[in-house]
Amino acid sequence: MKVLVINGPNLNMLGVREKEIYGTKDFQDVCNYIKEEGQKRNIDIELLQSNIEGEIINGIHKAYYEKYDGIIINPGAYTHYSYAIMDAIKAVNINTVEVHLSNIHAREEFRHKSVIAAACIGQICGFGEFGYVMAMEVLKNGKVKSEELKI
């Protein structure tokens, strides 16, 4: 299966930016981790990072034309106000999981709202880079009922 993993603005600064929130791993380490975990699950991972809203939208459209099976997206701050990214996800009708490294609900008020989540099959936040792996499991196995989750 082919999955496009999109990281939005400022995620390329991981390892430099607000380490107390985002940790000390740099972006390349996180990308390597995502690739490796994808390989273990037989998922063909394509990575896209952009600080530009239009490039993220073009990436989502590309996922449609290139017949991707799923999208994992950390839209960064665009999460909180980009109706254009939300519309792009709705347009392509590809199973999409929203991921955040930090627990956005435990942070400033403006981060509590995601305008993207409604276009996604679900949102994962607060578990660092492991969130991307959880999203892979969801895309591979489909939605699971909460009572079936073994933690």
Binding site for ligand DQA (CB under 6 A): 10, 74, 76-77, 79, 100-102, 104, 111
**Catalytic one among 22, 68, 78, 132?**
22
Q: Show the tokens assigned to 109.
A: 């008020």
Apex 18 CA angle, 99 and 26, nearest 5: 65
Q: 53-65 and 83-92 are packed helices; what angle lies between their axes, rounded to 10 degrees? A: 0
Q: Show the tokens assigned to 85.
A: 């990214």
Q: How many whole angstroms separate alpha carbon 127 and alpha carbon 149?
A: 16
Whichever of 82 and 95 has its CB closer to ligand DQA, that residue is: 82
Whichever of 109 and 147 has its CB closer to ligand DQA, that residue is: 109
Q: Is 65 a catalytic residue?
A: no
Asked if residue 100 lies in contact with residue 74, where contact means CB atoms within 8 angstroms, the answer is: yes
Whichever of 17 and 40 has its CB closer to ligand DQA, that residue is: 17
Q: Is 80 a catalytic residue?
A: no
Q: In angstroms, what is the minimal distance from the CB of 131 to ligand DQA?
A: 8
**Catalytic one among 68, 78, 100, 132?**
100
Q: Which residues are catalytic?
A: 22, 100
